[in-house]
Each structure stands twice: as C-alpha cells, then as structure tokens.
Amino acid sequence: MRRKILAAALAAIAGSSALADNHTIEEVTIVGSREDARQLPGTGAVIDNEQIRIEAAADINQLLKTVPGVYVLEEDGYGLRPNIGIRGATSERSGKITLLEDGVMIAPAPYSNPAAYYFPTMARMHQVEVLKGASLLRYGPQTTGGVVNLVSTPIPDENSGNVDLSYGENAELDFLGNYGGRSGNLGYLLETAQLRSDGFKDIDRSSQDSGYDIQDYLLKLSWEGERQSLLFKGQYSEETSDETYLGLTDADFDRDAQRRYGISEPDEMDNQHEGYNLVYRFALDESVLLSATGYYNKFSRNWFKLDGGGSLISAANAG
C-alpha cells in the first residue's frame, strides 16, 4: 500500500479583473482557452467541453491523440492508467510530465516517484489542457515533457443538473450525474460517476471477467464576497479492475490481441483516492488578483496476483 499526504500553500499574483468586475469565481485553469493558449511563450492546446461532447470520449487516450506532439501508450484499452509522453519524453506511467486536476498535482508521489498509478475519472472532466515549452516550469517537479491539466465540472450559474447514461458491449455501463447551482454568495455542485465493464480480453482456460468497477464522488462548495472568494472541492473514488502487469509476446499479440495468459487470471488492481482542495482569492484592485491553494491527497493501491488476498496484503503493509 502506498500512501502519500501532500499539503502546500501556493501563492501567485496574476493580472485579472474578472473577480472585481462581476464577482464570479473562475474555475482553476492553467491555459484557460484556445485563445489564451496562443499567447503562451511555449505551446499549448485546449480540448474544450464541446470537443469532448462531440467525440463522446470517456478515454483520455483518444482525446490526447488529437494534440500534436503528444503520444500515448495503450495499456488496458480503457484509459484507466494512461501512459502519456510529450515531445519525445518516455510515456511509461506518465512519469516525465506533470499531471494536474484543477491546477493541483494528482500523481500519488509527484516529487519522489511520479509514476501515475492514479488518474482522475475522465467522465467527470469538463476540459483538458496541454502545455509544452518554457512556460510550464512553474507547475511542478516533473515538467521535462510537459503538463496535462484536467479541469473538472464547474459550478453552474443557475440550479441545474445533468444525467448521462450509456450501455455497450461487454456489459459496459457508464453513468454520470451532477446537480448544482448558486444562491446569493453561495454555490454548490454534487457529482458522481459510476463506471463498470466485464472487459473485452479473453483469459486462457478461464471464464473470469477482465473489466473494472469504478465509483467516483465529487463535492464543490463556493463563497464569494465583494473582493474575495473561497472554493472547496472534495473528491473520493474507488476502483477495482481485473488488470495485470503481464503482457503478450509479439507472436501471440499478432495472433490474438485480446488474449490474456491464464496465469494472469488472479491479478487484480484495487485502489482508493481522496483529495481536498481549498482555493482563496483576493482582488487587490481591478488588475491584481492574489490567490492561494491548499490541498491534501491520499492514495492507496494494491496490485496483486491473488484475487481476494487484499486483506492479507493490507495487513502486511500496515505492519
């Protein structure tokens, strides 16, 4: 089990008049929009919500393939743990890029061991931002390749909700529901993503599934005054996936890419993630905005070769 607690207070001064003009909290972004991306000293790209809806893509791999200079290495076929490389940097576990959600690092141990065994549920994302070049140095320790920032669903201006439900092959069921709004100076958003599938891979001499089961919950609360604002975000998710480290030889892959060796039947990944963010903003005047972000992340995982042995491994890890 790997657990990592991160806490930081980050302050930045940036030119902005939005808060002072209309007293509306802006969601945390790194690039912002496609127009803003063109003004960066490096290069950047924004996959906005319209493009995500048009492509109906719940797999981050499929979206990032539309961005020049970004390449992905498929692993499970669903984008649960994408391997992202930018400008020639190795893509293994996205270890040479900084992964952010709403501007906060989300790799389990971004400084000491940046391998991204956790990746946010793409179904609840509103926008994806990719940053390359010199301007990315301010965003984290692993910026050799670039930065990928996932922007979660913003709090709506009026009370409203949304439900998306889809069903597909291999008993794949995707559900996304949210409801939120604003009342006076207060705002809120509740959201959940429930995803499952039996998987598409065939395990030798076995009838066991090779799919996944994901439960993801999100809460956002906001308050805004005349010159200052607070935004709180809490998130919790659980994943159980019948995935394995074991791959196929080139010859076996050419014969049947959906095959899995029988010896990998008991392999299973279990993980839990919880994170909390608190963003404070204060408008010094109409052109200067002071902001500070505090965050806490906790992640645990067991990727073992003994289905049902998680309790034994957890006990051993706990000492």
**Tens digit of each residue's pLDDT (9 = 90 or more) over 20-61:** 344 444 444 555 555 554 555 567 889 999 988 888 777 898
Q: Which residue has the tokens 């961005």?
A: 67
Q: Is the pLDDT of residue 248 over 60?
A: yes
Q: Say yes or no: 231 and 275 in one domain.
A: yes
Q: Which of 65-69, 124-128, 212-216 has the lowest mean pLDDT?
A: 65-69
Q: Say yes or no: 130 and 243 in one domain.
A: no
Q: Say yes or no: 226 and 81 in one domain.
A: no
Phi, psi for residue 34 in degrees, rounded to 5: -65, -35
47 sits in which H/E element: strand 43-47
Q: Say yes or no: 217 and 248 in one domain.
A: yes
Q: Say yes or no: 197 and 284 in one domain.
A: yes
Q: What total number of domains does the chain contain?
A: 2
Give the Cα separation of 53 and 166 in Å (integer): 13
Mean pLDDT of 56-70: 86
How many alpha carbons lie under 13 Å from residue 16 in its C-beta half-sphere? 20
Q: Say yes or no: 74 and 161 in one domain.
A: no
Which ranges of the chain does DSSP label H, i.e. alpha helix? 18-22, 34-37, 49-55, 60-64, 250-255, 310-318
Containing structural domain, residue 118: 28-153
Q: Say yes or no: 112 and 128 in one domain.
A: yes
Q: Say yes or no: 106 and 191 in one domain.
A: no
User: What does the pLDDT read at residue 177?
Assistant: 97
What does pLDDT average to over the chain?
82
Give the Cα separation of 16 and 189 in Å (integer): 25
pTM of the model: 0.80
For residue 234, give the nearest of 160, 299, 296, 156 by alpha carbon.
Answer: 296
Q: Do residues 148 and 177 lie in contact, with contact meaning Cβ atoms separated by under 8 Å?
A: no
Q: Say yes or no: 164 and 278 in one domain.
A: yes
How many alpha carbons lie under 13 Å from residue 13 in its C-beta half-sphere? 5
245 pLDDT band, cuts 50/70/90, is confident
